[in-house]
Amino acid sequence: MDKHAAYIRGFAERTDNFEYYATEHFRMSGVYWGLTALCLLHRRDDLDGPAIIKWVLECQHEDGGFGGSERHDAHLLYTLSAVQILAIYNELDLVDADKIAKFVAGLQQPDGSFAGDQWGEIDTRFSYCALLCLSILGKLDAIDVPKAAEYVASCRNFDGGFGCTPGCESHAGQVFCCVGALALADSLHLVDRDLLCWWLCERQTPSGGLNGRPEKQEDVCYSWWCLSCLSILERLHWIDQAALSKFILFCQDEEDGGISDRPEDMADVFHTFFGIAGLSLMGYEGLEPIDPTYALPSAVVDRIRQRNGAPS
């Protein structure tokens, strides 16, 4: 745990390399991955909270949305990450929730779907981002929630899975977004639980790791995309958790910290977060529990629910 924490801290400290600039456009999500992983390792305060909060606020645009970094266009992906970071630091009062809600609501389309930004790409990832962002802010009433759920349900396939738009192939990353969105919209009755969970548990390969689609290679991040759904749908016991834990642990860099997509590959913050998050969902000893729908530490979600007046 010490090595993983040091590995994540290293990203915050090293700003003079190529990787730092090459990842500029998605830094907001990078900060969310690293910070949430540190929270699960009980080391939230390893990062400079006040500096991060200041930077997050600098990335907000006049229209209420946040960019992936300073000088980058506002997008739903980074607006969600920004709101998640502020929720972790219990600093949601620093932003105007109505202004952010207006930005999100402005991206909803007549069919209930969401565009990611002003340029109009539609994807069920953005439905999840919109619903989660507004749920954290206590502003779900800014959008047409039943219509949002109806659109997500229209992306359901014959195998029980979901794709990015109607008719698109089922993909575990999109399944996560759709199940999460339906959970937030209180519409899980639109999921065929047994059919979908059977498809999800078939993602486990002989290595113990999970893949994202049939015939694909296993990858640590699917420990999160698949497991969170199985957890939301109360079928976590349908996969071999001991084998999956072993696979994730095999992907650790035992010298320098960090977790990679599969054994022997190079570690990165994305897979480090999703590996630790997967272990947390399986109750791995010593880790903080994570909420499968909010992708935030459970303690943060309890605080959000209290703030928004819902029972925890």
Interface positions with ligand FPP (CB under 6 A): 77, 125, 128-129, 173-174, 176-177, 212, 219, 225, 295
Shortest Å distance, C-beta 227 to ligand FPP: 12
**What are the C-alpha distances in Å from 6 to residues 18, 20, 27, 261, 285?**
20, 17, 18, 19, 20
Nearer to ligand FPP, 173 or 258 (CB): 173
Nearer to ligand FPP, 163 or 258 (CB): 163
Shortest Å distance, C-beta 205 to ligand FPP: 14
* Gyration radius of the chain's alpha carbons: 18
Nearer to ligand FPP, 3 or 166 (CB): 166
Residues 6+ apart with CB under 8 A from 178: 124, 127, 128, 152, 155, 156, 162
Shortest Å distance, C-beta 173 to ligand FPP: 2
Q: What is the DSSP letter of 286?
A: T
Shortest Å distance, C-beta 2 to ligand FPP: 25
The size of the chain, in residues, is 312
Nearer to ligand FPP, 219 or 268 (CB): 219
- Quote the CA–CA distance of 54 and 275 in Å, as a whole number: 28
Nearer to ligand FPP, 50 or 167 (CB): 167
Nearer to ligand FPP, 6 or 159 (CB): 159
Of 244, 242, 167, nearest to 200 (Cα)? 244
Shortest Å distance, C-beta 189 to ligand FPP: 23
Q: What is the DSSP track for 26-94?
A: GHHHHHHHHHHHHHHTT-GGGS-HHHHHHHHHHTB-TTS-BBSSTTS-B-HHHHHHHHHHHHHTT-GGG
The residue number with the shortest CB distance to ligand FPP is: 173
Shortest Å distance, C-beta 180 to ligand FPP: 8
